[in-house]
Amino acid sequence: MNCFLVTGGAGFIGSNLALALQQHFESARIVVVDDFRSGDFKNLCGFRGDFVAADISRLDWNEQFKDITFDVIFHEASITDTTDHDQFKQAHDNIEGFRRLLSFAEQSQTPVIYASSAATYGLASGKMNEDQPPAPANIYAFTKVQIDNLARYYMNKMPSWKIIGLRYFNVYGPREAHKRSAASMVYQLYKQIKDGKNPRIFKFGEQKRDFVYVKDVINLNIKAISAKKSGIYNCGSGCPISFNQLVEILNKNLGTNFAPEYFENPYKEFYQSHTEADLTKTKNDFGFSPTTPFEGIADYIAILEGKKPLPYF
């Protein structure tokens, strides 16, 4: 019987992953760890596994899991609010949490699949590939760079131990509503239109984002279970769209005609104006074939509008 651990399993991506694992591996034991700082119990409706209420940066891993042998650890826990600039809190919780996890997993060389971020690329524009030097523009991105550094250290130290990092681009999809202002632009603009308001975007809406559907993120995590080697991979759609295009897609799928309302960007000093995942490595090693934002957003809106059931992917 398979046994999986998902940290941050009550959060947006973590809950979708925990429920998808439950569906794909029906007899598996699945353990979720979360402290609810950026998660919600409602996301785990239908979850049949075990739940541990804990902060992973302070958890005694060996004591908590002394009687369990995991087949794979999925690490999704993180302070995800990029506007939280408390440097010590971000660094301690994100980096030390991952350090403790790796120290625990090292003993049995349990495979680890963890969430990195496209924020590590900084303010660079154009296609972003995994060989680019990191250029973090805020403390959140800095912590993700350090997590990647830790992962590479163990990859080199123990080549037989499988560690996979997935650099998430702009993820959107079901089970993100609890994030409120930290939810995806797709969800935030959808809510504004549904409230009868003009969608508000930064001047003049030509900033581009690589929006990736959470369904594809989950599928890539599951594909990574069978990875042949360690590595860090981009996880995006490879199809960036502008905020203006996003408004058009939302209007089209909702049957509305709300024009954008433009305002000044207050985060210019650390704002990425163009994100785009180079998926060459991910496609070659995993056969990754993500949906486009045009397809994914249409599916998401159908779910939000109650025309499709909430999925487990």
Q: How far apart are CA 101 and CA 94, in angstroms?
A: 11
pTM (two decimals): 0.96
Does the residue 226 lie in any domain?
A: yes
The 10s digit of each residue's pLDDT in 19-66 is 999 999 999 999 999 999 999 999 999 999 999 999 999 999 999 999
- Establish if 63 belongs to a structural domain: yes
Tell me, yes or no, whether 150 lies in a domain.
yes
On whether the CB atoms of residues 75 and 9 are closer than 8 A, the answer is no
Q: Is residue 250 part of a domain?
A: no
Amino acid symbol at 196: G
Catalytic residue status for 312:
no
Number of domains comprising the chain: 1
pLDDT per position in the chain (313 positions), as tens?
799 999 999 999 999 999 999 999 999 999 999 999 999 999 999 999 999 999 999 999 999 999 999 999 999 999 877 667 789 999 999 999 999 999 999 999 999 999 999 999 998 878 999 999 999 988 999 999 999 999 999 999 999 999 999 999 999 999 999 998 889 999 999 999 999 999 999 999 999 999 999 999 999 999 999 999 999 999 999 999 999 999 999 999 999 999 999 999 887 776 788 999 999 999 999 999 999 999 999 999 999 999 999 998 8
Do the domain assignments include residue 200? no
Q: Which domain holds residue 136?
A: 3-172+213-238+276-290
> Is 140:89 a contact under the CB 8 Å cutoff?
no
- Is the Cα dihedral 280, 147, 213, 124 positive or negative? negative
Residue 303 covered by a domain: no
In a domain, 163, yes or no: yes
Marked catalytic residue, from 140, 172, 233, 300 = 140
Q: Which of 179, 187, 213, 300 is catalytic?
A: 179
Distance, first Cα to last Cα, the chain: 21
- Would residue 269 count as lying in a domain? no
**140 among known catalytic residues:** yes
CATH of the domain at 110: 3.40.50.720
